[in-house]
Amino acid sequence: MKTLRIPEATVMRMSVYSKYLNKLDQDGIITVSSGEIADGVGVSSAQVRKDLAYFGEFGTRGVGYNVKDLLRYTLKILGLDREWNLILAGADNLGYALCTNTEFVSRGFKIVGVFDDDLSRIGRRISNMIVQPLEEMAQVVKEHNVKIGILTVPDNSSQQVADLMINSGIIAILNFSAIPLNPTESVDVRNVDMSALLEILTFNLGFKAAQNL
């Protein structure tokens, strides 16, 4: 099997291509070129072809790519040719927002359990779920064969709840707390640091201002 190491940036772009292809397909477009995809998502056409080339040959020279076929391939590659059950810990406003996020649903993600340790939140309804105490997590993970957890608890308890997830059987975590988790060999963690993203903007604004002197 041709298993090179795939850049993470490539995987991220595959997700973007996939959504763009979905839009093209809904618009009834049959064929698309790497240049059109590139324009649609804001990268170079060489980048699109190189990214796709990691996974195989999907196009026809002189013609381009069949939208439906390439969409199917991208979904398959990303592991989205199935449904994924998720759990979420931290039923605050952000947790609530993620639970009601319709894009997750359209990509095949299904949140099957929401957990919190705050008594005022436990029992509250979020869409079609009831917030449960953390103690119930292990059982839900087992019952629904959950592999992925979303962590939106406050910074000071994030490591502790992450450990609980891992002990419950979770092997991939999307972490929204500002504290990077201690990495574990067998668990895949992605941090989403929203203030860091804002701070890239303020850094650039500061730089721009300095250069205008």
Partner DNA sequence: GACTGTGAAGCCATTCACAGCT
Partner DNA sequence: AGCTGTGAATGGCTTCACAGTC
11 vs 30 by CB, closer to its own copies: 11
- The answer to whether residue 119 forms part of the interface with its own copies (CB under 8 A) is no
Partners of 53 in beta bridges:
none
Phi-psi region of 156 (alpha: psi -120 to 50; beta: other; left: phi over 0): alpha
Distance of CA 75 to the CA centre of its chain: 13
In angstroms, the CA 72 to CA 93 distance is 34
Partner whose footprint covers residue 199, from its own copies, DNA, none (CB < 5 to 8 Å by kind) = its own copies
The tokens describing 146, both together, are 């959950």
In terms of DSSP bridges, do strands 188-191 and 31-32 run parallel, antiparallel, or are they unpaired?
unpaired
Q: How far apart are CA 134 and CA 26, in angstroms?
A: 41
Binds 64: which of DNA, its own copies, none (CB < 5-8 Å by kind): DNA
Q: Which chain residues interact with its own copies by CB under 8 A? A: 1, 3, 6, 8, 11-12, 14-16, 18-19, 41-42, 77-80, 84, 86, 92-94, 96-98, 100-101, 103-104, 107, 109, 147-148, 155, 171-172, 174, 178-180, 182-183, 188, 190, 192-207, 210-211
Q: Which chain residues interact with DNA by CB under 7 A? A: 5, 7-10, 32-35, 43-47, 49-50, 52-53, 57-65
